[in-house]
Structure 1
Amino acid sequence: MSFFNSIFGSSENSEASKNKVNWTELTDILQLQEIEAVSAQKPVVIFKHSTRCSISRMALKQFEREFDLEETVDPYFLDLIANRDISNEIASRFGVYHESPQLILIKNGKAVYNVSHSDIDAEALKSKV
């Protein structure tokens, strides 16, 4: 198999090299306080992802390929399956209806933009930051 990878390249390696996002994993509900505080200085984006959904996987990969806001926003990644309680708290705290996949932009402790499914677009996010 390595012979074919050397000729055609490994899809795993090419996917990894295309990911331009340095995610902070959102695994503790207390991190939401951190997000509120950080967002007073720098916008924060939360990507809510379902590991069981192929549409969510496609939206995530597309977003990661297009993302070039590393100096502009702090990106957080939420695995919805493992952390449903955090997802529920995000909906409550920031006043956004839960969807999956979902991208939420937080500024000054408030959700100022949120999109889901095929509307998740790194280029569109630029105009909101």
Structure 2
Amino acid sequence: MNKLESVDQLKNLYEQTSTYVLFKNSLTCPVSQEAYREMEKFVQAHPDVPLYYLNVQELREGSNDVAETFNIKHESPQAFVIADGNVTWNASHWNVTKKNVEKALAE
């Protein structure tokens, strides 16, 4: 899992044409903690699929930028599959699971 620590890193990520997963995580939410574990399982099973994450408390501006850039209401936890700069799937809360990300990538 690749941690994003600046808005510049995030904006550079938007320019990628390859498929990747973006995960927004809360450091204080138990649902986010479970989603984080699910994303760790995903990375272990699929090391070839880049996964980037940001902690909303540490990078609030970045979290807001994701919502604005993709015109998707902010939630936490929240995961996105992004291909060619477009969101092809997103989910929040208990729907952020290894299985759901795998399913989204297979479509």
Give the structure-2-normalised TM-score. Answer: 0.87
Deviation, structure 1 residue 112: 1.3
Runs of 4+ in 1 over 2 A off after TM superposition: none
1:69 and 2:46 aligned? yes
The one of 9, 15, 29 aligned to 1:37:
15
Gaps of 5+ in 1: 1-22
Aligned partners of 1:122, 1:58: CA distance in 2, in Å? 11
Deviation, structure 1 residue 127: 2.6
- In percent, how many aligned pairs have the same letter? 28
Aligned partners of 1:65, 1:32: CA distance in 2, in Å? 23
Deviation, structure 1 residue 86: 0.2
1:82 and 2:58 aligned? yes
Q: Is the 8 A contact 1:95 1:111 kept in 2?
A: no
- Deviation readout 1:25-47 (Å, 9 max, x if unpaired): 11111123321222x1x211111
Aligned partners of 1:84, 1:120: CA distance in 2, in Å? 20
Aligned partners of 2:39, 2:50: CA distance in 1, in Å? 14
How many equivalent pairs are there?
104
Tell me which residue corresponds to 2:27: 51
Give the structure-1-normalised TM-score. Answer: 0.73
SS at match of 1:70: coil
Larger Cα-atom Rg:
1
- Deviation readout 1:3-30 (Å, 9 max, x if unpaired): xxxxxxxxxxxxxxxxxxxx11111111
Deviation, structure 1 residue 90: 0.4
The one of 105, 108, 119 aligned to 2:81:
105
Amino acid at match of 2:46: L
